Structure 1
């Protein structure tokens, strides 16, 4: 097939339409609940004050804004695929943004403005005239226009998934896991809820020594997904780990035969065994004398995969046996060689995961 034909077919799959809309129209659509911003998505809404302020300034100055992408749901409402942070900032500035419980959030008040210093401290609506955004400025803001690209409901779910992933990776403010979270919510909300529940399992929380930054970027959920994905499908060395993981997450979310409850139980049993034995040392490096203080993804992958595969055996062993097995892992040249810094994720995975079950047999 020629490149031109491939392009033609690929473009046909993305059935979309688009037009410019005023900010005021978008606000009214949101107020009428004809636009859906999934409450879970709002957990990813983490622009800081300066980012919000710069965006509001840009709209007032007439600086071109990237388009918003929405998907037309079965009931005709728009579901935001890309543009969450921009739309949420607009709605919060106008005092209409709702939180996860459906309550209206406080107005966003710009601060630290650069191009429009007089905008500092002004509120969309206020009793004190000196604190209130002038009507003329508010009208200009509402008349600002943003391009809205609409993915129609005729487009299949896979197209919706692919579009979302492409729009939110590569230079995006969302991390790969945050993108995967949104994808799971789109495809199978119940599946996402189960994964999120596992990320809060006490034994996992107690020994998963992640930094606050890692937690903010949804790393605990990523670790749960890695555990499940490695058991669901063998890693394909030909693709990047993030690309592979996103693909497997899509497959698991759509697989009606996938027994998430059974796999969740194995996850809990595995982490409970580790909490009772090695505890917070479970995923640290062992230097022959003591465990270091840092969490290592290479340890997590191999240890959890190996123990999960042999979970019936490990639940019957004493603490010393399990700790000795973990220490022994760090004496194996085949593991150390690929667990060290500088080794790519793909190289590490194809050389360690296939051996995990045997190393912990």
Structure 2
């Protein structure tokens, strides 16, 4: 069956307004989140002014969830950096840099002119240059009614030959990406990870690590890339397993809030470090199943992580965080140290 594909054009001013109103959406699951450095962003604006061609953008068009609305949203699959650069420059969010003066035709005076655009925001440009940027048009290829599998396959084909990171390749091939992303929307990850890390889908791998700690024997768990990446690609999480992970995330989030209430910022920060939080997953789950109050569980976390020397008050755990933290042997060593501490504390 052929894809339902259409072509339209957007000018820069349209792009700016559509980004602001959410008609253009950069949160497509397969979209890469790498952010262009200032030099590349500046070069794009220079290309627009001079008249060099800019590659087309690819999007998935989808109706809004509101049943009473006929409006559509364009989820960008390839071209995020181009569109976000145009929008942010019109918003005066960055200045151009490391560019030679540009030669352009001033329509108002019908003369050829030169202007040094380096160091200039959009609002600081002459009106004639603003007009050139505002009226610049880019081709948009969009697809209606894409299935999840078609979207992932299209992403891989659009990016064939591009230097995709191992993480991007893994996410593009992930069987259960939508469920993993759904769990990854938890409030805990918004506090634990930076916006850029979430945009790069770092929470996907963490959710799979949570799943491993809850559903696999510790002797079989390894987070080395050669083992974890295939696991992220092929793991399918049941509804029951998803709910269990969310329950642990809820509990961990409450523990973190208790630590902050006690003004234990250093402990709370350690608690949200990926290695430590993942190591604590079996004990967070045990605390829930044993009916341990969040306040009491926070007491144990405080006892373990309130250390001036070393990561924790547990020497064996500290030794297992010095190197090779993803290896099975180190995961087991950390688990053994936490097991002894947990059982002693809650005995």
TM-score normalised by L of structure 2: 0.56
- SS of the equivalent of 2:142 reads strand
> In structure 1, how many angstroms separate the alpha carbons of the residues matched to 2:298 and 2:38?
52
1:132 and 2:112 matched: no
**Partner in structure 2 of residue 156 of structure 1:** 147
Q: Pick which of 264-273 and 81-90 moved more.
A: 264-273
> In structure 2, how many angstroms separate the alpha carbons of the residues matched to 1:258 and 1:318?
24
**Partner in structure 2 of residue 91 of structure 1:** 87
CA RMSD of aligned residues (A): 5.6
- Report how many aligned residue pairs link the two structures: 295
- The Cα of 1:54 is off from its aligned counterpart by 1.6
- The Cα of 1:51 is off from its aligned counterpart by 3.5
**Partner in structure 2 of residue 142 of structure 1:** 136
Distance 1:220 1:283, change over 3 A: farther
Which residues of structure 1 form unaligned runs of 5+? 1-11, 96-105, 285-293
Matches within 5 A, 1:304-315: 304-311=280-287, 312=290, 315=293
- Contact 1:49 / 1:111 at 8 angstroms: preserved in 2? yes
Structure number with the bigger relative contact order (C-alpha 8 A, sep ≥ 6) is 2
- Contact 1:109 / 1:123 at 8 angstroms: preserved in 2? yes
Distance 1:274 1:32, change over 3 A: closer
**Partner in structure 2 of residue 15 of structure 1:** 3
**Partner in structure 1 of residue 242 of structure 2:** 258
**Partner in structure 2 of residue 288 of structure 1:** none
- The Cα of 1:282 is off from its aligned counterpart by 7.1
Distance 1:305 1:108, change over 3 A: closer
- Contact 2:27 / 2:75 at 8 angstroms: preserved in 1? no
- The Cα of 1:354 is off from its aligned counterpart by 7.3
Distance 1:78 1:272, change over 3 A: closer
- Contact 2:92 / 2:121 at 8 angstroms: preserved in 1? yes
- The Cα of 1:73 is off from its aligned counterpart by 1.4
- Contact 2:61 / 2:75 at 8 angstroms: preserved in 1? yes
Which residues of structure 2 form unaligned runs of 5+? 64-69, 103-114, 306-310
Matches within 5 A, 1:292-303: 297-302=274-279
- The Cα of 1:175 is off from its aligned counterpart by 8.0
**Partner in structure 2 of residue 241 of structure 1:** 228
- SS of the equivalent of 1:79 reads strand
Q: Pick which of 45-54 and 31-40 moved more.
A: 31-40
Distance 1:164 1:133, change over 3 A: same
Distance 1:55 1:344, change over 3 A: farther
Greater fraction of residues in strand = 2
> In structure 2, how many angstroms separate the alpha carbons of the residues matched to 1:245 and 1:282?
28
Distance 1:53 1:323, change over 3 A: same
> In structure 1, how many angstroms separate the alpha carbons of the residues matched to 2:230 and 2:49?
38
- SS of the equivalent of 2:242 reads coil
* Counterpart pick for 1:69 among 58, 71, 88: 58
Matches within 5 A, 1:224-239: 225=207, 228-231=210-213, 233-234=215-216, 239=226
- Contact 2:15 / 2:83 at 8 angstroms: preserved in 1? no
> In structure 2, how many angstroms separate the alpha carbons of the residues matched to 1:54 and 1:157?
34
TM-score normalised by L of structure 1: 0.55
- The Cα of 1:84 is off from its aligned counterpart by 1.9
**Partner in structure 1 of residue 303 of structure 2:** 323
* Counterpart pick for 2:188 among 183, 188, 198: 198
